[in-house]
Amino acid sequence: MSHSISYIWSRIFITFNSWYMTKNVLHRFADVRHFVFDVDGVLTDSNLLLTENGELLRTMNTRDGYALKAALHQQFSVLIITGGESDGVRKRLSRLGVSNIHTGIEDKLTVFREIIQANQWDPTQILYMGDDLPDLEIMREVAIPCCPADAAEEIKALSVYTSPHAGGRGCVRDIIEKVLKIQGKWGI
């Protein structure tokens, strides 16, 4: 009997601790003004479909797209920095209104630093979402590093928030919606 009671109390503690840690992190979202996203593994699910012609095809989540449009509508900056190159990705993001798109980038950190300096962005107002080791350096320089549920373990360890959604499966919607709701700008 006492074993089951201690087990129940331990589960309550773990649940409370998880809720408290998430709540504690979410207050930081009130200062976000700039979203920076990787593409493969964040806006897509990391899978590539190879055609017979050698083209690489990706899928994107429409709810993530809606959230990107909502953030832009509310005057948030949206920056895309990705190592991948895809005309389809560029066209999709452009149609959503994203204009600050950098593809084929090997040195993400240098491009990131150049953009924040040129635009005079305050690093304490930047949320970055990445999923793998090429994102690590940028994540160390922003106030709010985040990742999808299926990110690499090193990225999860560095993130202050891990979305319950996987890359390409709503993690971008999750993070943008939380930020906009906390700031009273979601659905307006």
Q: Please indicate, yes or no, if residue 188 is contained in any of the structural domains.
A: no
pLDDT of residue 99: 97
Distance CA 152, CA 159 (A): 11
Q: Which domain holds residue 122?
A: 29-182
Helical H segments across the chain, by residue range: 2-26, 62-73, 87-95, 108-119, 136-139, 153-158, 171-182
Of 55, 75, 99, which Cα lies nearest the Cα of 185?
75
State the chain's maximal CA–CA distance in angstroms.
Answer: 65
The domain total for the chain is 1
Q: Please indicate, yes or no, if residue 126 is contained in any of the structural domains.
A: yes
Residue-wise pLDDT tens digits, 121-175: 999 999 999 999 999 999 999 999 999 999 999 999 999 999 999 999 999 999 9
CATH number of the domain enclosing 112: 3.40.50.1000
The model's pTM: 0.85
Distance CA 69, CA 99 (A): 12
Q: Please indicate, yes or no, if residue 65 is contained in any of the structural domains.
A: yes
Q: Please indicate, yes or no, if residue 140 is contained in any of the structural domains.
A: yes
Distance CA 101, CA 60 (A): 16
Q: Please indicate, yes or no, if residue 132 is contained in any of the structural domains.
A: yes
Give the list of residues 6+ apart from residue 87 with CB closer than 8 angstroms, or none. Answer: none
Q: Please indicate, yes or no, if residue 50 is contained in any of the structural domains.
A: yes
What are the backbone angles phi and psi of residue 22, rounded to the nearest 5°?
A: -65, -45
Q: Please indicate, yes or no, if residue 114 is contained in any of the structural domains.
A: yes
Q: SS3 for 81?
A: strand
pLDDT of residue 18: 45
